[in-house]
A and B are shown apart, each in its own frame.
Chain A
Amino acid sequence: MSEIIVVTSGKGGVGKTTTTANLGVGFAARGKKVVLIDTDTGLRNLDLLLGLENRIMYDLIDVTEGRVPYKKALVRHKRHESLYLLPTSQTKDKSAVNSQQMNSLCNELIKDFDYVIIDCPAGIEQGFQTAISAADTAVVVTIPEISAVRDADKIIGELGRAEKDNIKLIVNRIRPDMVKKGDMLTMDDIDEILSIDCIGQIPDDELVVTSTNRGEPVITNPVSSAGKAYKNIVGRLCGENIPFMEIVPEGFFAKVKKIFKM
């Protein structure tokens, strides 16, 4: 069964685009046919994270305005044959696409793909409304900071208003050492405020930054703890029952291992 997933957060910089890229690669690695739609018009990044910037010919706006069929605008991933990107325009702004155009586009895409994953822009304005309009499932990304949790709460309220009831939570960038010292919100604290189904806890991992800069999502990196967490999330979204991995501070041995890249 096909599914349209929107990745959203409210606050910027919590890892929506990173999550979208990793989920896309994760589903594709399982042999699913996936299309990622960047709706952050004017501030597009998803192509960079996938290392596909130089292959873009047409964009979302060309498709929604009927200049080209969507198949022409899709960019196939270098390594994953079943992963496609529909990039957005860097020169227009969010008012260039509306909800109806998004809905009809997604209705077409869903016939050909197993998963349509929409990368939502930050904020709660038109860009957000457009991005969520077609989705069946919403994945809300937050980080263990009070401002991000507050914004996630607002976003969940907005999603409820748009009658999107299938909402999942991903908590990104958890720093186990800080949680242990009591300097960071714990999973329990977040759950108490947001009280929605959590499908992922991702530890803070430097490898995410390096992989972002290199254009290779961290999920492909077998030594990365964040990569493992993303793999588990993909499994859970496929309906598997995977227990949460324990996020513990890095021990001395692990650090030595990392230095020698073992």
Chain B
Amino acid sequence: MSEDVVFKGSRSGLQLIFDETVDFTSILKQLKTKLESAIDFFGKGTIVNVAIDKITKEQETELSILFQRYGLTLKAIDTSLPKVSELKSEEAAVEASKEITIIERTVRGGQEIISNGSVVILGNVNPGAKIIAGGNIDIKGTCRGLVHAGAFGDLTATITADKMLAMQIRIADLIARAPDNLETVDTTECARIKNGNIVIETVNRQEVC
């Protein structure tokens, strides 16, 4: 029932998608419980796009008031002209990926961190946890969850972890999954896109930072 509203990461940024056939007040209510439950942890100032032709002016103000309360920014975009807006928002995505969100705790199973910019985790990412970032992801600990860097199309995004045991690594629209017999390496590793594939190589922290 509560799946009439979803946040979706797209090339142009985080997008709010809802079922237009459902009553708008019920949409607002669901959205509120979704934000309140805080399962999805959004970075402060995260920009959420919504298609302008799907909402009225009043609905837009209502949404932006609600979003403001949770530290989000609403942006109505015109999806009828995808070419132009995509170009613009791609620039915006690269711009936004310069912001850094720092999480000073272990991210546990079922928790989700979503940010337009880069994410630094001072702790472990446990199995079942999800990190979605527009920019890079750096984990000063063990990574066992699902990590998605460059979620809005940034092909240069990297994922670094002190101990990389991730279930799945996603960069932009590429997906790599862990081999079934995972061998552990005790050095810091970094995942990036090389020649259209995700490669993982050991790195020196000093060089990265």
Chain A interface (Cβ within 8 Å of chain B)? Answer: 150, 153-154, 156-158, 160-161, 192-193, 195
Q: Does B82 contact A (CB under 8 A)?
A: no
Q: Check B126 against A153 for contact (C-beta < 8 Å).
A: yes
Q: Does B110 contact A (CB under 8 A)?
A: yes
A183: shortest Cβ distance to chain B, in Å? 17
Q: Does B124 contact A (CB under 8 A)?
A: yes
A227 to B110, CA, bound (A): 34
Chain A residue with Cβ nearest B105: A160
9 residue pairs A–B, Cβ–Cβ below 8 Å: A150-B109, A150-B127, A150-B128, A153-B109, A153-B126, A154-B128, A192-B124, A193-B127, A195-B124
Picked from A157, A192, A193, A195, the residue with its CB within 8 Å of the CB of B110 is: A157
A164: shortest Cβ distance to chain B, in Å? 14
A123: shortest Cβ distance to chain B, in Å? 13
Chain B interface (Cβ within 8 Å of chain A)? Answer: 38, 105-106, 108-111, 124, 126-128, 142, 144
Given A150-B128, A153-B126, A153-B128, verify A195-B109 contact (CB < 8 Å). no
Q: Secondary structure at chain A's binding surface: helix, strand, loop or mixed?
A: helix
Picked from A157, A160, A161, A192, the residue with its CB within 8 Å of the CB of B109 is: A157
Chain A residue with Cβ nearest B142: A192
B126: shortest Cβ distance to chain A, in Å? 5
Chain B residue with Cβ nearest A151: B109
Please, which residues of chain B bring their CB within 8 A of the CB of A193? 124, 126-127, 144
Most A C-beta atoms less than 10 A away, residue of B110, B124, B128, B142? B110
A39 to B6, CA, bound (A): 34
Picked from B38, B124, B127, the residue with its CB within 8 Å of the CB of A161 is: B38
Q: Check B142 against A157 for contact (C-beta < 8 Å).
A: no
Given A161-B38, A193-B126, A195-B124, verify A154-B108 contact (CB < 8 Å). yes
Chain A residue with Cβ nearest B141: A195
Please, which residues of chain A bring their CB within 8 A of the CB of B124? 192-193, 195
B180: shortest Cβ distance to chain A, in Å? 15
Q: Check B106 against A195 for contact (C-beta < 8 Å).
A: yes
Chain A residue with Cβ nearest B108: A157
A102 to B124, CA, bound (A): 34
Task: Given contacts A150-B128, A193-B144, list 7 more A-B pairs with CB under 8 A.
Answer: A150-B109, A153-B126, A154-B128, A157-B110, A157-B111, A193-B127, A195-B106
Please, which residues of chain B bring their CB within 8 A of the CB of A161? 38
Please, which residues of chain A bring their CB within 8 A of the CB of B105? 160
A157 to B105, CA, bound (A): 11
